[in-house]
Structure 1
């Protein structure tokens, strides 16, 4: 059987579709969106779309909708990735206009790309059974590829090539030998979904791939970590030092000799 590309699989997905009016109130949705979103609990029709997103995703979705109000003619659809419980969704928003060019509403389309980024292929579309609230929550799926955004395209970065991840508010920058890429997922989302044997949260703003660890540096009581291929060492929080040493398999005395 030939290997199918992620693009081929994405094209076969049944997308979730939500129609919004000019004030961002939900006026219609398709069957997949009804299954995924808590329609019975939140009764989203005629309510703001932000009201039925997880709290940690609200700021991202609001930003996405704000960016869709692009001042140029024929703006491209805006793209974002958010992390909901156990799933990773790729969301696109496109503004709708009338004959005069005035905004009449928005179309929000989303795809479940969890299997694409966790390496579990082939992808199976979501079903009512897989989303049943009566089933126990599955373990969080590890990412084998990190979805990043570049010029309104989704670029999947192989996890083993990542040296570190830097937090910037609700978002992150993913660093490799080729440079840094913007990611819509926050650092906590990524820390939960990356292999804990390689990746360690060494600081509130940094997630390091210890496979690239090269030196532990000390300067007036401060500890930093030098990674192979990176010129600037990363800060290590005091509370993370012992965990770092343990994960690298060295003791405190050994570290003081370095």
Structure 2
């Protein structure tokens, strides 16, 4: 079966989004205009980290992990804006490390006045991630980690699944990231910390607070006035900064050692 950087080609009907959506359970959460939870279906109860924190009557973000709250507030804000169509949003929720694809729509009364929101989500974890074979790979709570095999990105209100090996580097932008491949860059709603913790550390390395690189796609190591940079493969050269703290680990991962001289910038 052929694949492309943005997921499985449509020639395989069993892998199409329509087929997958037919298989997915749907989580539904109803929210009033003050963003308080008024109801949810059984799948949402099972999927979201509610447990002892019964969310009814509480602000919708209160029972989500801290890292997810800003994203949910952004999504709700987008849904309220009359000129925006809120984009799908991927969130990584540690229950354990599930990837939820979320969409929010505003609900109006008979006169069109806002009375609340409906938050709908699909759990796409099984599509984009796989369990780590090493049984020792667990998170701080002892839950088994999953590694991403596809990264959910957004383009014109569509979700594109980028095959992880096709990724050249990932650039952070606040709570979000841009995933760069030879075909271009795609916006991702997962932050750089989420991605770093779920990518293979033997292949992907965070070389700077704002960058993760695919080591297999590094073309050159260059220096400029004492600074180290990585030049990535491709028809258009892209230089990625390497922090001083990350440089020793980078050289170790590349098997070069500290004594290898760096090529000066051309």
Q: Same fold (TM over 0.5)?
A: yes
Give 2:72's aligned residue.
61
- Maintained 8 Å contact 1:215/1:225: yes
Give me the whole-angstrom Cα distance separating, in 2, the residues matched to 1:22 and 1:228.
Answer: 49
Residue 107 to residue 5, structure 1, CA distance change in 2 (3 Å): same
SS at match of 2:197: helix
Give me the whole-angstrom Cα distance separating, in 2, the residues matched to 1:255 and 1:5.
Answer: 47
Give 1:4's aligned residue.
14
Give 1:84's aligned residue.
93
Q: TM-score, normalised by structure 2?
A: 0.85
Give the alignment partner of residue 182 of structure 1, picking from 187, 199, 206. Answer: 187
Return structure 1 stretches of 4+ with deviation > 6 angstroms: none
More helix by share: 1
Is it true that 1:242 corresponds to 2:253 in the alignment? Answer: no
Deviation at 1:252, TM superposition (A): 2.0
Give 1:222's aligned residue.
227
Give 1:14's aligned residue.
25
> Matched residue pairs, number?
240
Deviation at 1:3, TM superposition (A): 6.5
Residue 38 to residue 157, structure 1, CA distance change in 2 (3 Å): closer
Deviation at 1:160, TM superposition (A): 1.1
* Residues 175-207 of structure 1, C-alpha deviations (whole Å, 9 max, x = no match): 011111000000111111111111100000000
The runs of 5 or more residues in structure 2 that have no matched partner are: 1-11, 132-140
- Maintained 8 Å contact 2:75/2:86: no
- Maintained 8 Å contact 2:148/2:164: yes
Give me the whole-angstrom Cα distance separating, in 2, the residues matched to 1:34 and 1:192.
Answer: 26
Deviation at 1:255, TM superposition (A): 3.1
Give the alignment partner of residue 212 of structure 1, picking from 211, 217, 224. Answer: 217
- Maintained 8 Å contact 2:128/2:148: yes
Give 2:134's aligned residue.
none
Aligned CA RMSD, in angstroms, stands at 1.8
- Maintained 8 Å contact 2:93/2:100: yes
Is it true that 1:256 corresponds to 2:262 in the alignment? Answer: yes
Residue 40 to residue 140, structure 1, CA distance change in 2 (3 Å): closer
Q: TM-score, normalised by structure 1?
A: 0.88
